[in-house]
A and B are shown apart, each in its own frame.
Chain A
């Protein structure tokens, strides 16, 4: 009986080590990436935000719009002109695949700011800086400034387009056209 007890101890340690090594503690849910191959070899991917249902947080530059309504925006003067928004991000099939922040600010000594951070938990994060002014056809152009994990070695463009559907509704479309660094474009 003592021998089987000692054998059990060794087995218990080995089984625990094996379980901790091979069993995944975290397994992020993945949706298939819907990617279109560009003629130059890059990949185009379209994400979108449906308004108002995908809006998590919003604060207009003048502070008149706050969402959720119970949001208490700090009274600090330095934050007065900040426009901060948080959204759920959907892929081309309309499935939520991530969370995105959109931050913009007024012109000052450092110029106007318009940026997106797209956080896709199973893939990585895209950090894009955009030109605040929109083109004649309603697009705002920008570039991928940095990416993490799957997006770490990519570069390319990011464009934003807002399609209003009246009142508070609409759709924000974000298109990434990215190519791996070092590959011919």
Chain B
């Protein structure tokens, strides 16, 4: 009996050891920043509030945090879309509203926690009146955000987290861990470029989700920027 007891305790200890090693994995952030973050070919940088209550609209399955916004918006409860979130927000450039962005995010089946990957398949549909439209195909890795913000908030006795967390969430699909941007109309028509999304979190609550968080979408050309694209 004592051998069985020792084996069970050892198994639990081994599992805990493995999970602790995974959580504190020093190689998880060692993949480097997306090349676009230091690019000198930036076409624009668009900021948006990543807090549901500060957006035009946000919806999910109605049971997850953050809660859908505004009141009365339809929830995505159907099985095929229950792991999807939609954010409609104002895209701001240099502090001025520049257009509207719709972001679809769905949990990715490629998620592998063993590789420190909590992946989300997302797509941006952006309209900048007077300038044009574009679409961004993106794979996000939220592992760093979950590890540094969400999990500490759940462990906190106050059920919240405060601090400063900045990270590039874009992890693909391009080889250099950038998102693929495709122009739709106007000045962006026929444009093929790259993008990265960054988050700057300052407060998180387990009840409300992000309380103070700003997002940013940077777009850049692989080559020299054409005249007239940047404002």
A25-B113, A74-B56, A127-B135 given; A10·B88 CB < 8 A? no
A20 within 8 A of B: yes
Interface of B, helix, strand, loop or mixed by DSSP: mixed
A12 within 8 A of B: yes
Within 8 A of A (CB), among B71-89: 71-74, 76, 78-84, 86, 88
Q: Are A96 and B90 closer than 8 Å at their CB atoms?
A: no
Contact partner of A26 among B99, B102, B111, B132, CB < 8 A?
Answer: B111
Within 8 A of B (CB), among A123-168: 124-125, 127, 129, 145-146, 148-149, 152
Residues of B within 8 A of A171 (CB): none
Contact partner of A78 among B121, B129, B132, B186, CB < 8 A?
Answer: B129
Q: Are B99 and A1 closer than 8 Å at their CB atoms?
A: no
A68-94 to B contact mask, C-beta < 8 Å, 1/0: 111111101011011010101000000
B1-24 to A contact mask, C-beta < 8 Å, 1/0: 011111111111111111100100
Most buried by B among A4, A12, A103: A12
Q: Are A13 and B97 closer than 8 Å at their CB atoms?
A: no
Q: Are A108 and B129 closer than 8 Å at their CB atoms?
A: yes
B225 within 8 A of A: no
Contact partner of A13 among B7, B8, B15, B180, CB < 8 A?
Answer: B15
Q: Are A86 and B72 closer than 8 Å at their CB atoms?
A: no
A16-B19, A31-B80 given; A125·B109 CB < 8 A? no
Residues of B within 8 A of A11 (CB): 7, 10-11, 14
Q: How far is the CA of A114 from the CA of B3 in the complex (A)?
A: 70
Q: How many A-B residue pairs have CB under 8 A?
A: 237
B133 within 8 A of A: yes
B15 to chain A, nearest CB (A): 4
Residues of B within 8 A of A88 (CB): 74, 76, 78, 81
A110 within 8 A of B: yes
Q: Are A8 and B81 closer than 8 Å at their CB atoms?
A: no
Residues of B within 8 A of A84 (CB): 88, 100, 102, 127
Residues of A within 8 A of B (CB): 1-17, 20-21, 24-31, 55-57, 68-74, 76, 78-79, 81-82, 84, 86, 88, 95-99, 101, 103, 105-106, 108-111, 113, 115, 117, 119-122, 124-125, 127, 129, 145-146, 148-149, 152
